[in-house]
Amino acid sequence: MICAVLFPWNKRELPTSLELLNGVFHFHPEIYEVHESNPQDDSNLREGKLYFHVDEESKDDHDLVEKPCLNSIFEMGHPGENDQWTFEDCRKFYEWLQPIMYPTVIVATFGFKFSPDAIFMLTQLAPGWVGGALTAGVFT
């Protein structure tokens, strides 16, 4: 499941995990404390364009931390034989989305306090506004 998020943001920089988890969305204090006590695990700012893939062979070729891709959030990369959309539709969607999501900050609520972990991919959409996607990941 993917949720679109949009919120006012008057700072020049994208939000850090601490600002997002405590200031914008007010996560439970135990979740916030994990990020507060581990500043080295703070938000992951990606200053290059995010990777994407639309072919079936590459579907497992992404990692949220090392090689995050748009597919890991938007899950529109692998049409099945009964789907009405095609690989070309997927490519057009990601080519449209890629420059919008640049730069991107990725914040995940890692810390094993609850599962699934909340994962945000956010960017500056307009002056005074940050938005993107919120989804979840299960890490076992």
Please tell me whether residues 7 and 34 are part of one structural domain.
yes
78 is in which domain, residue-wise? 48-102
Please tell me whether residues 114 and 82 are part of one structural domain.
no
Please tell me whether residues 94 and 57 are part of one structural domain.
yes
How many structural domains comprise the chain?
Answer: 2
Please tell me whether residues 36 and 80 are part of one structural domain.
no
51 vs 90: CA distance, rounded Å? 13
Please tell me whether residues 59 and 88 are part of one structural domain.
yes
Residue 42, pLDDT score: 54
The structure's pTM equals 0.77
Please tell me whether residues 94 and 65 are part of one structural domain.
yes
Please tell me whether residues 94 and 53 are part of one structural domain.
yes
Q: Are 55 and 69 in contact (CB under 8 A)?
A: no
Residue 139, pLDDT score: 64
Please tell me whether residues 52 and 93 are part of one structural domain.
yes
Structure tokens that stand for 58 in this block: 């590459």
Residue 56, pLDDT score: 59
Please tell me whether residues 61 and 36 are part of one structural domain.
no
Distances (CA, A) of 138 to 16, 43, 61: 22, 18, 17
Residue 107, pLDDT score: 83
Please tell me whether residues 54 and 39 are part of one structural domain.
no
Please report, in tens digits, the pLDDT of each residue of the chain (140 residues total).
Answer: 678 999 999 998 999 888 888 889 988 888 878 777 776 555 677 777 888 877 655 656 666 666 777 876 766 555 666 666 677 787 888 899 899 998 988 888 776 677 788 888 899 999 999 999 888 777 65
Pairing assessment for the beta strands 117-126 and 104-108 based on DSSP bridges: antiparallel
